[in-house]
Structure 1
Amino acid sequence: MLTAEVTVPVDRAAAFATLADGWLYASWVVGASHIGRVDPDWPAVGSQIHYRFGLWPVLISDTTVVRAADPPHRLELEARLWSVGSAWIRLTLSEATPGHTTIRMTERASGGPARLIPGVAQDLAFAARNQESLDRLADLIRARAQNS
């Protein structure tokens, strides 16, 4: 399973705080284009983000659900994607050196027809998108750190 990775110059709690702001989800997740609602207890297990993905005027509404959370170390999500199925996503945060957090993201199709795609093909399909998502997340984390 390929893992996208980025390191940001903040501690793990500050990095996780950006993940914990569900309203920022469409700012860093490639494909998500509009947040309609975030459950007030996000990112508690079972909480959801209601969003649209795609490009206007073809937008499809769906949800992402928290399946496991261990703040500020790990967040596991199930992102639903209409009739294509769903994906399991794990984000792990570790501090290799004080004040620098490495975020790793892995993803696998977990429901619908997409889960029939072999793992290597999924890696190829998700790799560039996940790296771009983490690069966007890193930019948000850096901006929040500069403005705090």
Structure 2
Amino acid sequence: MATNRRLMQCAPEAVFRALSDGWLYPSWVVGAARMREVDAAWPAPRATLHHSVGTWPFLLNGTTTMLEWHPNRKAVMQARGWPIGEARVTVEAEKTHSGCLVSIHETPVRGPGAALPAFLTGPMLRWRNSETLRRLSYLAESDSLGPRVSTAVAAPLAESS
């Protein structure tokens, strides 16, 4: 299993808003090239994203199915991209004083990646998921996805006479 962590300057809710929009998947997942379809129930458990991995003209169709969805805390997905294989991916967010700490854990579970020892797959997955978390942070910290963590207090409106 490979694990990466990143401090993000946003609330866990912003991270999970990005995860809940299936059409954003290729924006944050390294290797995903395009979306083909998003189940209407996404991100509910058993809902599936239909995507392609690779680079044109060498694209492989894959899917990612949500296994567990605990809003603002934890998402567990099964990513499939044959002939590469399948992996279990867990994303967790923990609130901090300045935003949140986001962790991604990836474990190959079927196919060639699962047959290789962790000392070979681990460094590659950590390198890939470092970039994945960087991309996810851009989405989550973006003002377009919702309010950022702020300690500012709104001033009361002055009454006019």
Give the structure-2-normalised TM-score. 0.85
| Cα displacement string for residues 27-55 of structure 1 (whole angstroms, at most 9, x for unaligned residues) | 01000000011111111111110001101
**Structure 1 residue runs without a partner (length 5+):** none
Instruction: Give me the identity figure in percent.
Output: 31
Distance 1:107 1:11 in 2: 23
Give the superposition deviation at 1:60. 0.8
| Cα displacement string for residues 91-132 of structure 1 (whole angstroms, at most 9, x for unaligned residues) | 0110122x5011100101111222111122221120110000
Q: Is the 8 A contact 1:108 1:122 kept in 2?
A: no
Give the aligned CA root-mean-square deviation in angstroms. 1.6
1:46 aligns with 2:46: yes
Which stretches of structure 1, 4 residues or longer, exceed 6 Å deviation after superposition?
A: none
Distance 1:65 1:147 in 2: 25
Q: How many residues are matched?
A: 147
Amino acid at match of 2:95: E
Q: Secondary structure at the match of 1:3?
A: strand
Distance 1:28 1:15 in 2: 11
Match of 2:118 in 1: 119
Match of 1:78 in 2: 78
Distance 1:49 1:137 in 2: 17
**Structure 2 residue runs without a partner (length 5+):** 148-161
Give the superposition deviation at 1:141. 1.2
Q: Which moved more, 1:129-138 or 1:112-121?
A: 112-121
Match of 2:159 in 1: none
Q: Which moved more, 1:38-47 or 1:117-126?
A: 117-126
Q: Is the 8 A contact 2:50 2:62 kept in 1?
A: yes
Distance 1:133 1:106 in 2: 11
Give the structure-1-normalised TM-score. 0.92
- Structure number with larger C-alpha Rg: 2
Matches within 5 A, 1:13-92: 13-92=13-92
Distance 2:117 2:142 in 1: 37
Q: Secondary structure at the match of 1:83?
A: coil
